[in-house]
Amino acid sequence: MCATLRHEIPEAVVTYEEKPREQWIFDYPAQIALTCTQIWWTTEVGLAFSRLEEGYENAIKDYNKKQISQLNALITLLIGSLSAGDRMKIMTICTIDVHARDVVAKMIVAKVESSQAFTWQSQLRHRWDEEKKHCFANICDAQIQYSYEYLGNTPRLVITPLTDRRSPKPTPSPPGPAPWWSPTLS
């Protein structure tokens, strides 16, 4: 199963832009579609930051509008007739997309202007490394190689600001001594 996922993800990443997203989703199993939508979210936010740095001041807002349009297209699909598997896949992608939309909206409100800002770096970001032919998950300065474990077509935890704050983040320790440590304790 891992070999199949590892074989299919590169193709799905490449074909993502070849047709409308709401059609592309049906070309791949749920885990592949979900992983690739997260890879493309990271990519598109990165592109929006690049455009912002080039002087296009509405780049992040424009991307947020695109996110809303993508969500509306998926919701339209959910209203229609779908198999149980396709319905679960689209609902799962909608759940993750809503969180992604909220992250971008939060960055707009906070006037985040750099991809190096903590608000963006503290998000779980999937990326495809074409040279290494691997998917990686990044958060802050931690990088974990995607292990291509089969997860199935299951619902995902709805991410709210509370669950986002309470989630353990696989990040390194902050630099410097612990705040409770003092030289007199040694």
Report the pLDDT value the prediction gives residue 182, as an integer from 0 to 100. 47
Number of structural domains in the chain: 1
Report the pLDDT value the prediction gives residue 155, as an integer from 0 to 100. 62
Report the pLDDT value the prediction gives residue 164, as an integer from 0 to 100. 56
Q: Which domain holds residue 92?
A: 2-185
Burial class (CB in 10 A: 0-12, 13-18, 19+), 32: buried
CATH code, domain with 75: 1.20.58.1120
Report the pLDDT value the prediction gives residue 101, as an integer from 0 to 100. 97
Q: Which residue type does 63 have? A: Y
Q: What are the angstrom distances between the C-alpha of 179 and each of 48, 176, 183?
A: 37, 9, 12
Report the pLDDT value the prediction gives residue 186, as an integer from 0 to 100. 45
Per-residue pLDDT 10s for the chain (186 aa) are 778 888 899 999 999 999 999 999 999 999 999 999 999 999 999 999 999 999 999 999 999 999 999 999 999 999 999 999 999 999 999 999 999 999 999 999 999 999 999 999 999 999 999 999 999 999 999 999 988 776 666 665 555 555 555 555 555 555 555 554 445 544
